[in-house]
Structure formats: C-alpha cells, structure tokens
Chains A and B, each alone.
Chain A
Amino acid sequence: PHFACSLGDNTLWMDSTLALTPPSLPKCCELFQNSELKQRHFKFQSFFSNEDLISTTLPDDCLISISEYLNHDDLDIMACVSQKMNAFAKNARPKTNKIRAKLQLVQMRNGDIEVNMIRAGKGVKKYRLKFD
C-alpha cells in the first residue's frame, strides 16, 4: 500500500510502512534523552495566574533571550522561580558568560591537594581534591 505526500506542487507516492516507522534519532538526541538533562517532571502542573503578565505577554523566545543575559548566580535563582523559568534557566546555562574564578594552590596533604577558589565578589572557597 502506498500513500500520497504533497511537497509543494509535487505529489510523492510513498510506501505506507515508511510512514509508520518513526525516524531514528541522531546520537546526540539519544544522549540527551538518556541523560539527566532530560525534562524534569514536577508534581504540580505548570500554571500561570491572571496576574502572570510575563507569560501572557512575553513570548518564550523573549524569555530565552532575557535569560541569556543573566549570570550563573541569577540563573540559580531563576531556576527556583517556576517550572517554566527553571527550563529557561537550564537552557541558558551553556550560553551565559562564565564567572571568572582563580584557583590558588594552598598545600598538598596526604596526597590530596587543597586549593582556594577565588571568585570576584564571592570570597574564597576551600576545596580538597582527593586522588585515589
């Protein structure tokens, strides 16, 4: 059995078994689907109240554009605002400017390395890198 498929002015006849076969996903899509990056499922359905001006007036691509101007700290906060903003924050992370940090070797102790991570305006955090 065949079915007709219109493509512009042309009509193509295709084997119907082709139509029933879902297209195979590229490797990157499989990776994405199987990784922890896949869409998180929340208990409540995402909702927006009547007061929710941004979702009723701003299209998603504008929200995406806005989120790309935020730094990682703001994206952390944005991720906690609502489910929709959580998704946009996740989307913006790879594109947003990285926060510059300087690593300072402090000392080696029992084979482990202690370092200070210095971030502008964020103070100093101590980390211990353990080696097996």
Chain B
Amino acid sequence: RIYPLMRVTLTTSDGASVTVSRQLTKHSGFIEKAITDMAVDDNAVPLSAVAVDVDDATLKLVIEWLTEHRDDALPYPEKTDEERRADDIPAWDQAFVQKWDTKEDQQQTLYAVITAADKLDIKGLLDMTCKTLANKINGKTVEEMREILQLECDFTEEELAEIRKENAWCEN
C-alpha cells in the first residue's frame, strides 16, 4: 500500500537532500525497498533519509521525469520481444530529453540519467533513456557508433574481417 502524502527525504551522493512525495518514489524499486526495509510507521512524515548513489543534478532530472509520470500504472508493463520498439517514446519524454540533450555534456547527461534509472530501479525512465540511446546508434556506421559510444576498436584486422564475413552471410 502506498501513502501518497508521505514524504521521503533522499540524500544524494554529493551530500544534498531532496524531499519528495511517496507518490513519486513508488516508481523506484530501490527506494520502495529501502522504505520497506525500514519498516517505518505509516504516518512518519518526513521519512528518514534514504541515501541514493546519484548526484544532485541528475536526481533533479529524475524527479522532473517522475513528477510527469507520477500517475503511470504500476508495475511497469513488460513487453514481449515482438512488442519492443524504440520509436514509441511519448512526446513529453522526447521534449524532456531534447531539453538537456543540447547541453555541451549531452552524452554524459544521458548516461548519468540511464545509470540513475538503473540504480534507482525506475523501469519507465530506464526504458525511455535506453530507447533514446538506441535511436542515436540506429543506422550509424561502425566508426560513427564508436564515436557515439566512445569506444575503441580492440579487434585485429583478421578478427574484424572474420566477424564481417559471418554477418554478411545473408547479404551475399
């Protein structure tokens, strides 16, 4: 049972404290588990601080997303392999990503939010941000993909040729 009026104080990795409604934190599996483990009184307002391994700036973005999605159904619907698609991101979420996606450190912000969603176990946010990154990668060449993911090639020429040969079986 969720008590919407109950408020939870979250302590970030850089020492800041943010108090939010339980209505928002119910979407986070990590925070819900922490609250359950505390076995607190229903009327405890505000609740004892829950430490989260997320910095203040990222947590603010997460809370902004949670505020918009506070009425989303729980549990988050699992999709089958056939239903899974990356082009169904809601308009608000697209605008949300676009807003901070234009910053100089856009890639790091996106990665920080993905990591925060993973740590806090917020399935909806994790799903949406993973789709966003998948859309960035979609249709890119190997070099472009390496640039986006900032990875270096750790194959030999022979290994790379072998992988390309394996993957080209259907094309040639």
Residues of A at under 8 Å CB distance from B?
Answer: 42-49, 51-55, 57-59, 61-62, 65-71, 74, 76-86, 95-97, 125
Interface size class of B (residues with CB under 8 A): 35 or more
CB-CB under 8 A from B151, the residues of chain A are: 48, 52, 54-55, 81-82, 84-85
Q: Is the CB of B163 within 8 A of A79?
A: yes
Q: Is the CB of B115 within 8 A of A97?
A: no
Q: Is the CB of A54 within 8 A of B149?
A: yes
Say how far A31's CB is from chain B's closest CB, in angstroms: 20
- Please indicate which of the listed interface residues A57, A69, A82, A84 has the most CB atoms of chain B within 10 Å of its own CB: A69
Q: 5 new A-B pairs (CB below 8 Å) besides A58-B111, A77-B140?
A: A52-B152, A65-B126, A69-B130, A81-B151, A97-B85
CB-CB under 8 A from A55, the residues of chain B are: 151
Do most interface residues of chain A lie in helix, strand or loop, or is the interface mixed?
loop
Say how far A83's CB is from chain B's closest CB, in angstroms: 5
Q: Is the CB of B114 within 8 A of A58?
A: yes
Q: With A53-B108, A77-B141 known to touch, is A42 a contact of B155 (CB < 8 Å)? A: yes
Residues of B at under 8 Å CB distance from A?
Answer: 81-82, 84-86, 107-108, 111-112, 114-115, 118, 126-127, 130-131, 133-135, 137-142, 145-146, 149-156, 159-160, 163-164, 167-168, 171
Give the number of A-B contacts (CB < 8 Å): 116
CB-CB under 8 A from A52, the residues of chain B are: 150-152
Q: Is the CB of B84 within 8 A of A97?
A: yes
Say how far B25's CB is from chain A's closest CB, in angstroms: 21
Q: Is the CB of A53 within 8 A of B111?
A: yes
Say how far B130's CB is from chain A's closest CB, in angstroms: 5
Q: Is the CB of B155 within 8 A of A83?
A: yes
CA distance A61 to B84 in the complex (A): 16
Q: Is the CB of B138 within 8 A of A70?
A: yes
CB-CB under 8 A from B82, the residues of chain A are: 97
